[in-house]
Amino acid sequence: MNEMTVAAAQGCIVDAVRQLGSESVALQRALGRVLAEEVQANRDQPPYDVSAMDGFALRSADVANAPAVLEVIEDIKAGEMPRNTLAAGQCARIMTGAPVPAGADAVIRVEDTQALADSRVQIKCSVKPGNDIRVRGESMSDGATVLKCGSEITPGVVGLLAMVKRAAVQVYRQPSVAILSTGDELEGLDEPFDANKIPDANSYALMAQVQALGIEPVLLGIARDQPEALRAALQQGLQHDVLLVSGGTSVGVHDYVRPTLEALGVQMKFWGVAMKPGHPMTFGVAPLTWVFGLPGNPVSSMVCFEQFVLPALRCIMGHRRLYRRTVTARLAHQIKHRPGRSEFIRVTLDRDADGYIAISTGAQGSGMLSSMAQADGLLVVAAGSEGLAANSSVTVQLLEGTAFQAHHGMP
Ligand code: AMP
Ligand code: MG
């Protein structure tokens, strides 16, 4: 199998995954999920013409030659219906959200009026018909589609769903995600300290990356580099919708992950991506499971998650925007690069009047998790680049936040 470009590998993965059906969730638990149904308005909103201001409902013709003095015939509060129809020379004191009385065709805000004795008010300026009136059905009309299938449930969407009285909604099912670390040298978080071992960081970094997408993964622990132990652990992982295996995917003589997956019937789609870090990344498809073989080096594993697992999980969850949002930044210093592989440089982002400034987090070794811990983003160096000069314009994938985009942003 040939080494693939990052974009081609992303395309292969996104083509291979799909949504997993839908389930009903309470509105209180719906944030971050994706609608698997279209939602319609169940009434006109507002239900009648209402005032947009605290002020006076009046007949615009009466104040065409303002200032003018009008008789105040009633007070209308939000939630009350007007009792009278306005005749010439009359107005009603009205609160924001209260129904506009029959006969009135405009509202004037209280700031443009002056109360007088004997239930009279001076209107200081003229208003056009319709002024400060929200007309019936202006924000939604009964039966109209207010949300399309595939909409991400943001706080604004939650508000809209409450507005149409949806206590529960149909959303795409979340995948169950299993995480397995492999390696004889690894020491689990709750195992006794041994200075000769390597703490299993990947299980937890990957766990957190999955959690950040709103999914609670299952940690399968550490499988040792023995075919039988690995086989048993991978079999357990294949009970889940998505399996993330880190380590053992390279070409070392004890890298059993790929052959064992193949022996378990996983159809490997590719091995090796033209990227740094993250080269020995692999992806396969089993009857029930999408399998990602991630490199063992902690930074490589996290960078591969960002490029490949994140868009896959978002696609399975029903999202249309699969990729991290990218921003354009100015490079604070030069970056050397030999043409061949796409490179992802951990950077912090600063800002001045001209926009973002990208600054390398320092040493970029694929085992140096501190570079990942400090990073605001991943600067993308195109595979063909011959290096980037200080002050040149670069693309940075943001590592934080809930904003995503439809395009992968690979140059
Ligand atoms: P591998 O891909 O198995 O050849 O591992 C590459 C490097 O990553 C080795 O130095 C491993 O010790 C290290 N490594 C593998 N898995 C983990 C892990 N779960 N946590 C931290 N380091 C790891
Ligand atoms: Mg290993």
Q: Are residues 41 and 68 in the same domain?
A: no
Q: Is 80 exceeded by the pLDDT of residue 387?
A: yes
Q: Is 60 exceeded by the pLDDT of residue 273?
A: yes
Condensed to tens digits (0 to 9), the pLDDT of residues 82-140 reads 999 999 999 999 999 999 999 999 999 999 999 999 999 999 999 999 999 999 999 99
Condensed to tens digits (0 to 9), the pLDDT of residues 228-246 reads 999 999 999 999 999 999 9
Of 316, 339, 364, which closes a domain? 316
Q: Are residues 164 and 192 in the same domain?
A: no
How far, in Å, CA of 214 to CA of 219, rounded? 16
**What spacing in Å lies between the alpha carbon of 243 and ligand 1's midpoint?**
17
380 within a domain of the structure (yes/no): yes
Q: Is 70 exceeded by the pLDDT of residue 49?
A: yes
Retrieve residue 174's tokens.
């979340």
Q: What is the pLDDT of residue 51?
A: 98
**What spacing in Å lies between the alpha carbon of 143 and ligand 2's midpoint?**
58
| Ligand 1 atom closest to 297 (CA) | 8
Of 277, 295, 316, which closes a domain? 316
The residue segments making up the domain with residue 77 are 50-134
| Ligand 1 atom closest to 182 (CA) | 16
2/20: higher pLDDT = 20
Q: Are residues 239 and 305 in the same domain?
A: yes
Task: Provide the pLDDT confidence category of residue 2 given band limits of 50, 70 and 90.
Answer: low
Testing ligand 1's pocket by substitution, the residue of 184, 194, 202 carrying the most ligand atoms inside 8 A of its CB is 202
Retrieve residue 352's tokens.
């001045």
Domain count, the chain: 4
The CB of 252 under 6 Å from ligand 1? The reply is yes
Q: Are residues 251 and 113 in the same domain?
A: no
Q: For residue 340, what is the domain's CATH number?
A: 2.40.340.10
Testing ligand 1's pocket by substitution, the residue of 179, 182, 186, 245 carrying the most ligand atoms inside 8 A of its CB is 186
1 within a domain of the structure (yes/no): no
410 within a domain of the structure (yes/no): no
Average pLDDT of span 151-155:
97
Average pLDDT of span 238-258:
93
388 within a domain of the structure (yes/no): yes
How far, in Å, CA of 242 to CA of 289, rounded? 5
**What spacing in Å lies between the alpha carbon of 222 and ligand 2's midpoint?**
11
Average pLDDT of span 380-397:
98
User: If you search the block for the tokens 């615009």, which residue do you land on?
Assistant: 60
Q: Are residues 293 and 384 in the same domain?
A: no
Alpha carbons within 13 A on the beta-carbon side of 278: 28
Residue 115 identity? A
Q: For residue 99, what is the domain's CATH number?
A: 2.170.190.11
Average pLDDT of span 151-170:
98
The CB of 202 under 6 Å from ligand 1? The reply is yes
pTM flag (> 0.85):
yes
Q: Are residues 29 and 87 in the same domain?
A: no
| Ligand 1 atom closest to 200 (CA) | 20
**What spacing in Å lies between the alpha carbon of 277 and ligand 1's midpoint?**
13
Alpha carbon nearest to ligand 1 atom 14, residue:
296
User: If you search the block for the tokens 């870090």, which residue do you land on?
Assistant: 277
The residues near 172 (Cβ < 8 Å, ≥ 6 apart) are: 19, 20, 21, 22, 33, 34, 36, 316, 317, 318
353 within a domain of the structure (yes/no): yes
411 within a domain of the structure (yes/no): no
**What spacing in Å lies between the alpha carbon of 256 and ligand 2's midpoint?**
9
Q: Is 60 exceeded by the pLDDT of residue 1?
A: no
Of 108, 134, 160, which closes a domain? 134
How far, in Å, CA of 165 to CA of 355, rounded? 42
The residues near 371 (Cβ < 8 Å, ≥ 6 apart) are: 299, 346, 361, 362, 363, 364, 365
Task: Provide the pLDDT confidence category of residue 251 given band limits of 50, 70 and 90.
Answer: confident
Condensed to tens digits (0 to 9), the pLDDT of residues 64-82 reads 999 999 999 999 999 999 9
Alpha carbon nearest to ligand 1 atom 15, residue:
296
| Ligand 1 atom closest to 246 (CA) | 16
Q: Are residues 305 and 180 in the same domain?
A: yes
Q: Is 70 exceeded by the pLDDT of residue 344?
A: yes
Q: Are residues 64 and 12 in the same domain?
A: no
32 within a domain of the structure (yes/no): yes
The CB of 200 under 6 Å from ligand 1? The reply is yes
Q: For residue 248, what is the domain's CATH number?
A: 3.40.980.10
The CB of 198 under 6 Å from ligand 1? The reply is yes
What ligand is nearest to the CA atom of residue 280? Answer: 1
Q: What is the pLDDT of residue 252?
A: 85
The CB of 295 under 6 Å from ligand 1? The reply is yes
Average pLDDT of span 198-208:
98
Q: Are residues 198 and 292 in the same domain?
A: yes
Of the listed ranges 108-117, 147-156, 245-254, 333-342, the least confidently predicted one is: 245-254
The CB of 183 under 6 Å from ligand 1? The reply is yes
**What spacing in Å lies between the alpha carbon of 109 and ligand 2's midpoint?**
72
Q: Are residues 67 and 10 in the same domain?
A: no
| Ligand 1 atom closest to 201 (CA) | 20
Q: Are residues 294 and 269 in the same domain?
A: yes
Q: Is 60 exceeded by the pLDDT of residue 38?
A: yes
**What spacing in Å lies between the alpha carbon of 183 and ligand 1's midpoint?**
7
Q: Are residues 196 and 249 in the same domain?
A: yes
The CB of 246 under 6 Å from ligand 1? The reply is yes
